[in-house]
Amino acid sequence: MRDEKASQPSSLSPHPSSRLKRLFSQLRRERRCGFIAYVTCGDPDRDTTVRIVEELERAGTDAVELGIPFSDPIADGPVIQAASQRALKRGTTIRDVFAIARAVRDRSDVPLIAFSYLNPVIRYSAERFAEEAEGAGIDSVLLTDLPVEAAPEVRGALRAHRVGGVFLLAPTSTDARIKAVNRASDDFIYYVSTTGVTGARKELDPALLSRLDEVRRKVTKPLAVGFGISEHAHYDALRDHCDAVVVGSAIVGAIADGEAAGAPARAAAVVRGILDKPPAAP
């Protein structure tokens, strides 16, 4: 159902990230591990991205990361790097990402997380970015290369416009880092499952499950796990050790694997496969 106030926030409208808070509360009640899907906006084009998000939600996705294409995505593997390059060649901008968010919000209340590197946001202006993100119905922002220590200015702009912030933890994070990220993250914490870049993997890190259990004991915010998750066996292994999984490269790779017209269906098939859900009725 459409959130009538999402595109025109007022002083009386709820914090946009309350959609994420409601989601994680619902997941806890249902004792279910959530599914967050990543897409690179503008790949293959803006309108198709909107349809992809719609089909991802129909397939069982609980929230969507809208990836802002960037020319130097140092944390991304070859699949998402290539998607960013294709989107940039088509001229995709931050304004296009906000247009995609508005189009999704006209049809859906699915939580939306803007996923970016810091450079595009700084060039755009953090204040302007936060204001337009709120107007587009974006719930939260994850800046992959923004450490907590350098975040006050950006966090201040986001919070002034009722947009949440998400920060990262990794296998190498110290107890001090875990505490700082727990304090700074508004809606959930993104745990990077392994050191290195994004990309679908056959096997999860053998130490991941015990490390997740350890981290969960030290944080109060929901924990979502990403990097490398691409199969139902991964989801099945993780479901009792985190609040949600994040799947990116497997979806982005499927989107690129064929004609643009079939991209929404291919993306949805990845979600159904990982969740082990039957295909949608024709």
- Which domains are seen in the chain, by residue range? 18-275 (3.20.20.70)
Q: Which ranges of 60-116 does DSSP label H, i.e. alpha helix?
A: 78-89, 94-105
According to the model, what pLDDT value does residue 190 have?
Answer: 97
Q: How far apart are CA 230 and CA 275, in angstroms?
A: 10
Q: Which two tokens stand for residue 78?
A: 């070859």
Q: Convert the pLDDT of each residue in 173-189 to its tens digit.
A: 999 999 999 999 999 99
Catalytic residues: 65, 76
Q: How far apart are CA 66 and CA 193, in angstroms?
A: 20
According to the model, what pLDDT value does residue 203 have?
Answer: 64
Burial of 39 (0-12, 13-18, 19+ CB in 10 A): buried
Q: Under a CB-based contact definition with an 8 Å cutoff, are residues 55 and 277 in contact?
A: no
Q: Which two tokens stand for residue 112?
A: 């939306």
13: how many CB neighbours lie within 10 A of its CB? 15
Residue that wins the pLDDT comparison between 94 and 15: 94
Q: Which two tokens stand for residue 107?
A: 């049809």
The per-residue pLDDT of the chain, averaged, comes to 90
Residue range 225-254: average pLDDT?
Answer: 94
According to the model, what pLDDT value does residue 199 have?
Answer: 40
Please determine, for residue 33, whether its predicted confidence score (pLDDT) is greater than 90.
yes
Nearest to 60 by CA among 38, 36, 24: 36
pTM above 0.85, yes or no: yes
According to the model, what pLDDT value does residue 74 have?
Answer: 73
According to the model, what pLDDT value does residue 17 have?
Answer: 59
Q: Which ranges of 90-151 does DSSP label H, i.e. alpha helix?
A: 94-105, 118-124, 126-136
Find where tokens 């204040």 sit.
127
Q: Which residues contact 275 (CB under 8 A, 6 or more apart)?
A: 35, 59, 60, 232, 235
What single DSSP character describes residue 222? -
Burial of 67 (0-12, 13-18, 19+ CB in 10 A): buried
Q: Convert the pLDDT of each residue in 125-159 to its tens digit.
A: 999 999 999 999 999 999 999 999 999 999 999 99
